[in-house]
Copies of this chain bind each other. A is one copy, B any other.
């Protein structure tokens, strides 16, 4: 059971007012949907859920509102290589950019590793690079899919380099 997330919708309203932008019903509905779900939602997910709850909001408005949520830093967008983006709220203090992604069922699990920022700092300093954010994605098979006997098959050359 999720805690009440309506304060975050109000926070988004505050952001809009700060920017001199109108707080519309559509924006609040979409924000509320993002804040109420702990999943990574696609625009299509949102559109389908809006339709099934009787809301009539155009896709363009969904895209435009998601842009605002990302700009406000209350939400973040991800690209898991599916050909479209997914969006999630950023209610936790530290945004998590580390994911375990199942290649079979597409489930996304978040995790955090304190060691990772050490790696980020070290590598960056080695290259004179100023890091702003990072993204670690581990692709593989989740517990559930492993349990149902699914396996991944390699398909390329057995040993590309040594075989020349």
* A→B interface (CB under 8 Å): 7-8, 10-11, 14-15, 18, 71-74, 79, 81, 90-93, 98, 100, 102-103, 109, 111, 113, 115-116, 118-120, 122-124, 126-143, 146, 152, 154-157, 160-161, 163-164
Assembly of this chain: how many copies? Answer: 2
**Smallest Cβ distance from A22 to chain B, in angstroms?**
18
**Smallest Cβ distance from A98 to chain B, in angstroms?**
8
From B90, B124, B139, B157, give the contact of A74 (CB < 8 A): B157
**Smallest Cβ distance from A65 to chain B, in angstroms?**
15
The docked-state distance in angstroms from the alpha carbon of A15 to that of B111 is 38
Interface CB pairs A-B, < 8 A, 21: A8-B164, A11-B160, A14-B157, A15-B157, A73-B155, A73-B156, A74-B157, A90-B160, A92-B161, A98-B123, A100-B127, A100-B131, A102-B129, A109-B127, A111-B127, A123-B138, A124-B138, A127-B142, A128-B143, A128-B146, A131-B139
The docked-state distance in angstroms from the alpha carbon of A51 to that of B127 is 35
Nearest to A109 among chain B residues (CB) is B127
Q: Are A91 and B161 in contact, with the CB atoms below 8 A?
A: yes
Nearest to A113 among chain B residues (CB) is B119
In the complex with contacts A11-B164, A139-B131, A140-B130, A100-B71 CB distance below 8 A: no
Residues in chain B near residue A138, CB distance under 8 A: 120, 123-124, 129, 131, 133-134
